[in-house]
Amino acid sequence: MSYSSRLREHAQKIGRDTRIALVGAGQMGRGFGNQLGHMDGISLSVVIDIDPERIKIVYADLGITDIVFSDDKAVLSKAILEGKSTGTSNSEIVSELPVDLVVEGTGIPDIGARITHSSLKAKKDVVVLNVEMDVTIGPLLHKIAQDNGVIYAVCHGDEPVEAKVLVDYARDLNFEIVCAGKGKNNPFEPLSNPDSVKETAIKKKMNPKMLCSFTDGSKTMTEMVALANTTGLQLSKRGMNGPASSVKTLQDTFALQADGGVLDRPGVVDYCTGDVAPGVFVVVRHKDPYIAHEMSYLSMGPGPYFALYRPFHLASIEAPITVYRAILDRESSLFAPHLNAEVISMTKKDLAVGDVIDGIGGYTVRGYADNALDAKRENLVPIGLIAGAKIIKAIGVGELLTYNHVELKADSLIVKLRREQDQLGLTYAS
């Protein structure tokens, strides 16, 4: 039975719609809210954003103009229980509101950590669009969710989950995973910044910092690290290969070096440029010669490598599937019990003592993928912790930041939670 039918039945069973809080009403949040608000059995009960106009836009998409605005949790709670649409700029109270599930869509690691941590502790399901947070403290958040009997999940719609679906499918068919990954959408400009991409961002109606995180490679690195962590696959190498490829040549590009490909071993994560974007892929092979023959017979190529390919990911349009899975199936679409890989911090300019790092998609650093144990051994700083950090040892452009280079922001919750995750032994596989 479809989720749409089951959600209606669930609402009848509990006597009301499932109440959802949406935190973050930007581009992704707006699409997410639009999809949720049109689904029977779901109530978009509260939208939270620092800009009231963006809250109004989310509700306007649903034909709703009567909104109760307040930063008082008592006022909001009363309105939510009465079935009214509400809005607030106060994200600190979301865990105390009478909602069943929280959608965290800010994309900012430290803010996301506050919202997710408090909501899980309050025994609310949380689904996140914040993969930058997940690759930093995801194992701890997963444990907190388990301890409290709730769901923590990274959302469908972005490449990590959609590629994971292909990996799970291939494993269920007894294929060996040679490589899983994505096509990179935007041109790779590692030293780009919000100013250099501003004109393009305006044309695309995007936040320049978001676009910059795409062009400087941070987003691709983060997504592939998330894929490695949830599947147990390893990175192909620090920074990955990122070769040019096409849909027709994926199985040749991501073959082993002995067979003319770029990989030195199977069981890895990587990405490529070319017409594979905006899709995701898994390159597989099978030990049984008859199954390999069957694959060739089914027009999957001559073998021994075969590519399974999904030609799209639908971002916020399909992200609500994670909400439905959490509510109805009590399962997470993506989590990581520990980190196989990390997103470390590479400088985009020379940084002097006293400089303050602005974070992902900014002017100072970009994300770079690394094997988690290599990053630990070299004392490298995850980019999810870096916003607001102060440089205490000068470093040149194109270098990797270590903990010896920076003084992390003392009042950052994500920094504190990462230390807790490390102390509990959750960060790295034992």
Q: Are residues 146 and 166 in the same domain?
A: no
Residue 380 has a pLDDT of: 98
Q: Are residues 42 and 138 in the same domain?
A: yes
Point out the domain boundary residue: 295, 329, 363. 329
* Within a domain: 418: yes
Q: Are residues 46 and 102 in the same domain?
A: yes
Q: Are residues 388 and 325 in the same domain?
A: no
Query: Where would I find the beta strands (DSSP E) of 40-124?
Result: 42-48, 67-69, 85-88, 101-104
Q: Find the distance separating the first CA and the last CA of the chain, reported in whole Å.
A: 40
Q: Are residues 304 and 167 in the same domain?
A: yes
Q: Are residues 281 and 184 in the same domain?
A: yes
The model carries a pTM of 0.96
* CATH label of the domain that carries residue 351: 3.90.1210.10
Q: Are residues 151 and 247 in the same domain?
A: no
* Within a domain: 336: no
Point out the domain boundary residue: 302, 329, 356. 329
Q: Are residues 291 and 183 in the same domain?
A: yes
> Residue 131: which of 113, 114, 107 has the closest Cα?
107
Q: Are residues 40 and 137 in the same domain?
A: yes
Share of the chain above pLDDT 90, in %: 95
Contact indicator for 102, 125 with CB cutoff of 8 Å: yes
* Within a domain: 428: no
Residue 187 has a pLDDT of: 82
Q: Lowest mean pLDDT: which of 202-206, 256-260, 392-396, 401-405?
A: 202-206
Mean pLDDT (the chain) is: 96
Question: CA dihedral defined by 180, 183, 186, 190, rounded to 10 degrees?
Answer: 40
> Residue 53: which of 94, 25, 12, 74 has the closest Cα?
25
Mean pLDDT across the stretch 402-417? 97
Going by pLDDT thresholds of 50, 70 and 90, the confidence category of residue 430 is: low
CA 290 to chain CA centroid, Å, is 38
* Within a domain: 33: yes
Q: Are residues 47 and 31 in the same domain?
A: yes
Going by pLDDT thresholds of 50, 70 and 90, the confidence category of residue 185 is: confident
195, exposed or middle or buried, with CB in 10 Å at 0-12, 13-18, 19+? exposed
Mean pLDDT across the stretch 388-409? 98
* Within a domain: 334: no
Choose between 195 and 186: higher pLDDT. 195
Going by pLDDT thresholds of 50, 70 and 90, the confidence category of residue 161 is: very high
* Within a domain: 335: no
Q: Are residues 365 and 399 in the same domain?
A: yes
Domain tally for the chain?
Answer: 3
* Within a domain: 430: no
Residue 395 has a pLDDT of: 98
Q: Are residues 139 and 174 in the same domain?
A: no
Domain that holds residue 283: 159-313
* Within a domain: 429: no
Mean pLDDT across the stretch 64-69? 97
